[in-house]
Structure 1
Amino acid sequence: MFLGTGSDVGKSIVATAFCRIFKNHGYGVAPFKAQNMSNNSYVTMEGGEIGRAQATQAEAAGLIPSVHMNPVLLKPTGKIGSQVIICGHVYKNMSATAYYAYKDQIKNQVMKSYQLLSKQYECIVLEGAGSCCEVNLRAHDIVNFEMALAVNSPVIIVADIDRGGVFAQIIGSMSLISKQEQDLVAGFIINKFRGNPDLFQNGIDFIEQKTQKPVLGLVPWYNNIHIDMEDSMTLDLSRPKKSSASINIAVIRLPHISNFTDIQALDNAPEIAIHWLKTPDNIMSYDAIIIPGSKNVIHDIKTIESLGWFDSLHKYTSKGRGLVVGLCGGYQMLGKEICDPKGVEGPPQQTNGINLLDIVTEMDSMKVVRRSSGKDRLFDSSVQGYEIHMGQTLLGDKATPFIDLKNYTDGAISQNGTVLGCYLHGLFDSGTFRKNFIQRLASMNQIEIDPHISHDDYWDFKERNYDHLADHFMKYTRIKDIFSIVDQ
């Protein structure tokens, strides 16, 4: 089990790496995270939602993602509440206090899912959440040491040296856990290292002497391996500029952004530079603007209106500067209005949309969760992905359906073809659609791009990067010792 000294130390990436390593070494391996909190979700073949990180780990393990790999998913809807999803399906919206009172029932389902997986696979790679030693949350824990103790799993604690204070992270964490929990700790992986590892050897010696536990890896920072992100906080980190990028795309950084991995395939394209914007500064310099999904559409659309996005987007489209794309909640925002008569996102209300598409959306408490495939009408490209939304959108006379799916259509295109949106997540994962989209932007803005750049389906790209990630961790961890821990 991989636990962390804090949030965003790299637990999910480490778990992904070892899912791939164990798979490549012949183990029947599956990922498991008892409880995840994320608005970045994935729809399984069973038609249920799980955290994106567990879907990524399942892919790395060579498996089809299952709801049992993340039996509890919490999707924050506001400052103190979350939508609680159990085994892929919405249970209800709950406050933290109400959720904690439900702990026993939740834990029963967690154990059922774990036991189901453990009967099918010889190795389960478990992941914790946040810090492994939050004293104030200890009584409510079902995902960190409580889970490790329940299944008697050895624990490797992951620390992030890049943020500083790695000695306090590790030694402090060990001092805050019980003797029983300390006995489960098999060692530490120090992640995101920069510099000469020889100069840190005395640091490793110090940690091992103080804890009497081995440092099982000193893993360098990397920029050349691309794995889907889980946490939106990573969107705010600066990215190295791509010398090959000639097309600039702005993505609106919504307060309650969800499924931001819809942008990942574009971000990895060599011709594209992605820019996350909170305010509409200099948007005429961008070749396209994307509005991503949101877990609180009405709140977020009011926020971007107050920041001046409405007027700026109308000016952008009137000048024919580039394409405007809305994905899921962003698609809803592009319409004339959004109605919430049942109070799905708060008090019953109605709010104006950006009014760039002739559509109207009505929120509904019934959540649509399904996998979909079809062809788009803009480029006639095959596309596939999944839908997760609460609401139905009606098209007016000035909008044309965007995607033809089996037995229904999705999305809308404006009359001049420069504004489009859909509910389909994973739109840009299709290599053909992505290539056509990039070529359209290049043509609209007289940009020369390399015609020899290939655009594989994103699945092939991810497979190569799972192997690169595994190689990286194989090189910089005491892999024989880790295999010995697994085989005990």
Structure 2
Amino acid sequence: MVKKNSSRNLMFLGTGSDVGKSIVATAFCRIFKNEGYAVAPFKAQNMSNNSYVTMEGGEIGRAQATQAEAAGLLPSVHMNPVLLKPTGDMGSQVVVCGQVFKNMTAKDYYTFKDDIKFQVLKSYHSLENQYECIVLEGAGSCCEVNLRKHDIVNFEMALSVKAPVIIVADIDRGGVFAQIIGSMELISKQERNLVAGFIINKFRGDPQLFQDGIAFIEEKTQKPVLGLVPYYKDIHIDREDSMSLDNSQINIFNTPIKIAVIRLSHVSNFTDIEALESEPEVSIHWLVSPNNLLNYDAIIIPGSKNVIYDLKQIEKKGWFEALHDYTQKDRGMIVGLCGGYQMLGKEIHDPKETEGPLKEALGIGLLDISTEMDTIKVVKRSSGKDRLFQTSVRGYEIHMGKTRLNQNASAFIDLQGYSDGAISKNKMVFGSYLHGLFDSGTFRQKFLECIAKKNNIEMNHSIKHSDYWDFKEKNYELLGNHFKKYTQTERIIQILNNGV
């Protein structure tokens, strides 16, 4: 039996990527909060270009920000002390405690393991001193044998803080028996002793027909299955990474308003679109190629972690010509967010190779702006008023470029002490560095009403004008209730308090 230390903690590890670890951790942050615990989330190391800016002015993975919100907390850099933001296939920008450390290859990063682990544990103990219990999340598969010696986020973290482990498996992708039993075979006896049980996620069908499967898993592993959680479609939680975009199937013809989003290779902060997707009158479709573009009422270019590379890729796919044709035919609005804003301009220069080896590129040319990348990263929360709809907006900035407005561009947003973004003379193309722009309810309402009016679209329901936070809070509660219904919650709370 593994004895607990004085603090309460529980770790969710996975049999692979995208099995639902983040969602499970989010659900139990809400469940423990509702049970009266002061609970905080923690992930030692996250790899994602979907980041969030905390009140401290630092970056963390979006999943940990979501978990903090579910726990009723303001997100902190200590909840995700190491964030790796891929800049290409071989390297990442390393963010430590919210601040950029440097760009590194995986090989170089591993040489800093001891220093990184020291900071990870320092952040963990900082949270441990403030909260009654910590919900930890692992990364990818918990049993990658080739990465074990470099591990700081999976069983190495659980062993360091004596956290009982629940392994999450995804039955929807198939092979759940191999996932669970194979994972148990590949970990050490010491690690197996930490495992308290399993949660089988994304189940479809009659659970009674899987009881033999549960019995088989429990007999083979000598560990309990603590939950068989049904797949859901009516609970909306911010996605963690872009893998989930590839799995989303959205009918573009089932709502009055249809919006296309360009699926960039290095897309970042794609959760900027989530507030629009929450609207019942709106369909979002992520497009790789500009097919049937005139079917859409608006087009959004999201952020990118490698702007010039992605810009050249979409040019090859015919997006430049298609976007110009879209504007010439006055079909609808085009919006650029952060990297997408930079792409809408005349040119981008990266003389110091901040994002990669490509030093310059011509932009799409729909905004009269020019951008030069810089090694200094802007990371801050901002608020102000937009000039198009005259609404209050707020969000956060994460970018390494400086954009200059030329003669035929006007600023789009007046922030506190400075202006941001640009808007075209005909008011149909605009861009901004402000992430979370559409989370502001009144701005989102005016944007969608403008689209509807331009295209003579009749709405079946009124557009929401509340801030996206109200919508998220409702769904955190739905998520917690869903997992509480389909897991052995009381037993899991006993594991939290007493260990394995």
TM-score range normalised by the length of the shorter chain = over 0.9
1:287 aligns to 2:297 (yes or no):
yes
Partner of 1:31: 41
The 2-side partners of 1:347 and 1:135 are apart by: 32
Partner in structure 2 of residue 482 of structure 1 = 492
Write out per-residue CA displacement over residues 409-431 of structure 1, whole angstroms, 9 at most, x where no aligned residue: 11000000000000000000011
- Give the 3-state SS of the residue equivalent to 1:355 in structure 2: coil
Between the aligned residues of both structures, percent identity stands at: 72
- d(CA) in 2 for partners of 1:76, 1:147: 22
Distance across 1 between alignment mates of 2:248 and 2:72: 31
Aligned to 2:125: 115
> Offset at 1:445?
0.7
Whichever residue aligns with residue 354 of structure 1, its letter is I
Amino acid at match of 2:261: V
Q: Counterparts in 2 of 1:409-488, with a 5 A limit?
A: 409-450=419-460, 452-488=462-498
Q: Which residue of 2 aligns with 1:239?
A: 249
SS of structure 2 residue aligned to 1:390? strand
Query: Is residue 349 of structure 2 the alignment partner of residue 343 of structure 1?
Result: no
Looking at structure 1, the residues matched to 120 and 293 of structure 2 have their Cα atoms a distance apart, in angstroms, of 46
Residue identity matched to 2:183: S
Give the letter for the 2:460 counterpart.
D
Once the 2 structures are TM-superposed, how far is the Cα of residue 241 of structure 1 from its aligned partner? 4.0
2:57 maps to 47
> Does the aligned pair in 2 maintain the 1:242–1:270 contact within 8 Å?
no
The gaps in structure 1 that reach 5 residues or longer are none
Who is 1:162 aligned against?
Answer: 172
Task: Quote the offset at 1:242 in angstroms.
Answer: 8.4
Match of 2:113 among 91, 103, 117: 103
2:102: which partner in 1? 92
Q: 2:275 aligns with which of 245, 259, 265?
A: 265
1:140 and 1:454 map into 2 onto residues whose CA distance is: 47
CA distance in 1, matches of 2:288, 2:464: 32
Matches of 1:189 and 1:457 in 2, distance apart?
Answer: 33
Task: Name 1:74's counterpart in structure 2.
Answer: 84
Matches within 5 A, 1:4-403: 4-239=14-249, 241=251, 245-347=255-357, 349-403=359-413
Aligned to 2:417: 407
Amino acid at match of 1:337: E
TM superposition shift of 1:89? 0.3
- Aligned residue for 2:4? none
1:36 Cα deviation after fit: 0.2
Aligned partner of residue 426 in structure 2, secondary structure = coil
Distance 1:169 1:422 in 2: 43
Residue 243 of structure 1 deviates from its aligned partner by 8.3
What TM-score comes out, normalization by structure 1 length? 0.99
CA displacement, residues 361-413 of structure 1 (integer Å, 9 cap, x when unaligned): 01001000000001111101111000000010010121111011000011000
What is the deviation of 1:244? 6.3
Higher relative contact order (CA 8 A, sep 6+): 2
Instruction: Choose 240-249 or 448-457, whichever is displaced more.
Output: 240-249
Give the Cα–Cα distance (whole angstroms) in 1 for the partners of residues 348 and 88 of structure 2: 19
Cα shift at 1:240: 5.2
> Does the aligned pair in 2 maintain the 1:383–1:430 contact within 8 Å?
yes
Tell me the distance in 1 between the aligned counterparts of 2:194 and 2:136.
Answer: 14
- The unaligned stretches of length 5 or more in structure 2 are 1-10
1 CA distance for matches of 2:357 and 2:253? 48
2:256 corresponds to which letter in structure 1? S
CA 1:222/1:243 → structure 2, altered by over 3 Å: closer, same or farther? farther
Q: CA deviation at 1:344?
A: 1.0
The code of the aligned residue for 1:188 comes to F
Q: CA deviation at 1:343?
A: 1.5
Amino acid at match of 2:85: K
Report the CA distance shift for 1:348/1:232 in structure 2 as closer, same or farther (over 3 A).
closer
Could you say what the CA RMSD is over the residues aligned between the two structures, in angstroms?
A: 1.0
State the alpha-carbon separation in 1 of the partners of residues 110 and 191 from structure 2: 22
Letter in 2 for 1:252: I
1:453 Cα deviation from its structure 2 partner: 4.0
Contact preservation (8 Å) 2:252, 2:258 = no
Distance 2:250 2:356 in 1: 39
Structure 1 SS opposite 2:193:
helix
TM-score by length of 2: 0.96
Cα 1:125/1:457, change in 2 over 3 Å: same
Matched residue type, 1:28: A
What's the secondary structure of 1:159's corresponding residue? strand
Q: Is the 8 A contact 2:30 2:476 kept in 1?
A: yes
Q: CA offsets, 1:206-258, max 9 Å, x none?
A: 10111110000000000000000011011112335488621110000000000
> Would you say the 8 A contact 1:331–1:411 is kept in 2?
yes
Letter of the 1:420 partner, please give it.
Answer: F
1:240 & 1:41 partners in 2: Cα distance?
24
Letter in 1 for 2:166: I
Residue 350 of structure 1, CA deviation: 1.9
The answer (yes or no) to whether the contact 1:72–1:87 under 8 Å persists in 2 is yes
Instruction: Encode CA deviations 1:106-142: one digit per residue, 9 max, x unaligned.
Output: 0000000000000111110000000000000000000
What do the CA deviations read for 1:450-482 (whole angstroms, capped 9, x no partner)?
363433210000000000000000000001100
- Equivalence for 2:7: none
In structure 1, what is the Cα distance between the partners aligned to 2:209 and 2:58? 48
Farther off after superposition, 232-241 or 402-411: 232-241
SS in 2 for 1:99: helix
- Write the letter of the residue equivalent to 1:232: S
Q: Answer yes or no: is the 8 Å Cα contact 2:280–2:461 preserved in 1.
A: no
